[in-house]
Amino acid sequence: MAVWLSDQVGPHGRVVATDIDTRYLHRLDLPNLEVVEHNILEDSLDALGPGSFDLVCARLTLFHLTGRQELAIRQMTECLRPGGWLIDEDGDWGTTAPVDPAHPLYGSYQRVWRDGDWWTSRGYDKAFGRKLPALFERCGLTDIRHEATSEVVRGGSPWARWRVITLPLVAGGESSERDLEVLTTALSDPTVWILRELLHACWGRRS
């Protein structure tokens, strides 16, 4: 996103990319990109320039911050100039499961997945994306719009391979490892059709 935004604003624009860990961002060498190590929940906004941004965006981040998403949205809103836009993309992860009950791997996947409570038990908000319009409104944003998309893909597809790589990042313990094996087996099997997460995009304007 940092690279794409830098391309959109051109040589006379400016992009600030923040993270609590900037190792990967510092690999980027773009003349109009500034990288700032920053925690939106804990650090002062002075390092970013409150009230100065035309656009603030986040993607697949806030669902990690269970119970603290509204604070993060309020902080990001404070960074916008009047008339500036906030956009967030986040998922409903409970939808991510095989679609064919007749497939041999369907039952074991559903038993482990538990309608996405596999995420909830690990401290994530599995249905956060759908809450964005209400949170945006509570944070004072106007002209709010929201849309969501998904698709059904095969196991072993690029998206499924990405899920196989990322799921172990939140797994832990012996039972979790067994559950993880069930999920990754289905995600790697091209005979399994899988409904992806419902990806929500919400945007609103600061008055």
Q: What is the number of other CB atoms lying within 10 angstroms of the CB of residue 136?
A: 25
Buried b / exposed e over 167-197, threshold 16 CB at 10 Å, is beeebeeeebeebbebbbebbebeebebebb
* Residue 177 counted as domain residue: yes
* Residue 29 counted as domain residue: no
What pLDDT sits at residue 170? 75
* Residue 21 counted as domain residue: no
What pLDDT sits at residue 168? 86
Cα 89 to chain centroid, rounded? 6
* Residue 101 counted as domain residue: yes
Q: Residue 14 is encoded by which pair of tokens?
A: 């400016």
Q: What is the number of other CB atoms lying within 10 angstroms of the CB of residue 161?
A: 13
Cα 34 to chain centroid, rounded? 22
CA-based nearest residue to 35, from 52, 50, 15, 53: 15
Task: Find out whether 205 and 55 touch, Cβ atoms under 8 Å.
Answer: no
What pLDDT sits at residue 44? 96
Average pLDDT, the chain: 94
* Residue 165 counted as domain residue: yes
The CATH code of the domain that includes 98 is 3.40.50.150
Query: Count of domains in the chain?
Result: 1
Residue 71 has pLDDT above 80, yes or no: yes
**Percent of the chain predicted with pLDDT > 90:** 84
What pLDDT sits at residue 178? 87
Residue 120 has pLDDT above 70, yes or no: yes
What pLDDT sits at residue 11? 93
d(CA 77, CA 103): 46
* Residue 171 counted as domain residue: yes
Residue 174 has pLDDT above 60, yes or no: no
56: containing domain: 38-206
CA atoms within 13 A on the CB side of 148: 17
- pTM, rounded to two decimals: 0.89
Residue 95 has pLDDT above 80, yes or no: yes
* Residue 52 counted as domain residue: yes
Q: Express each pLDDT in 14-61 by its tens digit.
A: 999 999 999 999 999 999 999 999 999 999 999 999 999 999 999 999
* Residue 176 counted as domain residue: yes
In terms of C-beta density within 10 A (0-12 exposed, 13-18 middle, 19 or more buried), how is residue 152 classed? exposed
d(CA 156, CA 163): 10
SS3 202: strand
What pLDDT sits at residue 31? 95
Beta bridge partners of residue 107, listed in sequence order: none
Q: Express each pLDDT in 181-200 by its tens digit.
A: 999 999 999 999 999 999 99
**Percent of the chain predicted with pLDDT > 70:** 98
